[in-house]
Structure 1
């Protein structure tokens, strides 16, 4: 056998990647997408989902999926700072159905000499329960749609807790439409009315939310960069907060989301920040 051929065989056997090009970013993306979409039934499309107004569960959720979230945030208001904290658990009891329970807290601190009594009281804001049904999932179109409903039992402030315990209710039906463009680019719209009922006066107060988001998922990873536009409409009043954000994988089943909030109109608040820790017990890399 020719000496050159012998040498080439030895190199290839000793170093299997010799002469084989490394995976391109496109190949990495396709492999990661296939982990989500082609490995299991039923169909599921990989979407980058927003971090501030997050979904009840992944679109196209599969039975047995579950996730814990812990969130911490700070908002700079004109007369006081507000600190947010939340803990939530979401799971899929059957295919395509996601359920969630959330406890959101808010704590307040006066600034610029503001009198403490004029600042809202610390409170467990509400007990939130929610459901989300993915009624359309198309892998060829890389598109998913879902209908959902959130019910918030609004609670009294800590200083008035129990007088009454539940002071009102928020009814929030919503629609989600998500689309992946190619392998990396993602868009999503989350919209619906918030109907707030005050039990004392039995009055109803309605606003309408339109939350849109755009993300770029980094090749072959679960990490992404993106932005949310959280818009609220109340009669002739329109408010919007822009929330640039990023998600990083710390471990295979542990992610962290970092969000900044920039209000377009600074009527009531200035900049804000929010961090979300996401733990997926039982999640294993395919």
Structure 2
């Protein structure tokens, strides 16, 4: 009798284990292919290329830029998630605060006003994931609703315009640890206080080395922007370090190569991916 009970219990546990393996296999098979790509830290992506449904991420960023006559402190909070496979959505709120420095002869006149820059809504869809070529490609768009300066904001004057930024992302892995990425597209600004539009174009490229068997990397991001006949280029060496499960920090100094009014800068990004292993 006891022997039969033991056999039944053993059979039930065996069936349970088989059912779990089948469920995990079905779950894995239901998800499309996703390649690991190193994501730049300053101009980051809306979501991982080839994102799987249910992925999500919180970002908190803070930075300081030294300009010729003033210093700019920037802060941002963003939330990104994947409602379906390969589609990423994001909402971001950036804030800029300004202080005068010793190089400004007329600080009250030249220093920009503090402002909540905008509310940014973005979407990105990965339309190509090639295991053979270790390449992923995505199309996306960012729409920014620009807000008025904090000292002028009111119910009647809250939104000053919006900015439309369609973009293309192309990423490739070179062997096991080297990664490259290009993020490019036009920027079209529609101000409400004057007629017409303002256009520009950005081309951001990056290359990273990912430390084997970790999510840590070191690399270089180069941001290039053409706007109103001007050209700006900033090199941003960077590194990302894993603190614990799902929590990482990125450190990004900025070195202007074609600088205009901008001097050295620094930026830190805290990245939290809840349940990212699942």
- Tell me the TM-score normalised to structure 2 length: 0.86
Q: Could you tell me how far apart the structure 2 residues matched to 1:220 and 1:39 are?
A: 24
1:215-261 CA distances to partner (integer Å, 9 max, x unpaired)? 00011100000001100113643211000000000001000000011
Contact 2:69 2:107 in 1 (8 A): no
Runs of 4+ more than 3 Å apart: none
Cα–Cα, structure 1 residues 47 and 39, in superposed 2: closer, same or farther, change >3 Å? Answer: farther
Q: Could you tell me how far apart the structure 2 residues matched to 1:51 and 1:98 are?
A: 17
Q: What does 1:21-170 correspond to in 2, within 5 Å?
A: 41-112=31-102, 114-162=106-154, 163-170=156-163
1:39 deviation in Å?
A: 8.3
1:77-112 CA distances to partner (integer Å, 9 max, x unpaired)? 000000000000000000000000000000000011
Q: What does 1:137-286 correspond to in 2, within 5 Å?
A: 137-162=129-154, 163-234=156-227, 236-284=229-277
The equivalent of 1:24 in structure 2 is: none
Deviates more, 1:125-134 or 1:228-237: 228-237
Cα–Cα, structure 1 residues 40 and 69, in superposed 2: closer, same or farther, change >3 Å? Answer: farther
Give the number of aligned pairs. Answer: 248
Q: Could you tell me how far apart the structure 1 residues matched to 2:122 and 2:83 are?
A: 13
Gaps (5+ residues) in structure 1? Answer: 1-37
Instruction: Name the SS of the counterpart of 1:277 in structure 2.
Output: strand
1:49 deviation in Å?
A: 0.7
- Tell me the TM-score normalised to structure 1 length: 0.84
Deviates more, 1:40-49 or 1:109-118: 109-118
**What RMSD in Å do the two structures reach over aligned CA positions?**
1.4
Instruction: Name the SS of the counterpart of 1:264 in structure 2.
Output: strand
1:40 deviation in Å?
A: 7.2
Contact 2:121 2:143 in 1 (8 A): yes
Instruction: Name the SS of the counterpart of 1:158 in structure 2.
Output: coil
Q: Could you tell me how far apart the structure 2 residues matched to 1:132 and 1:106 are?
A: 26
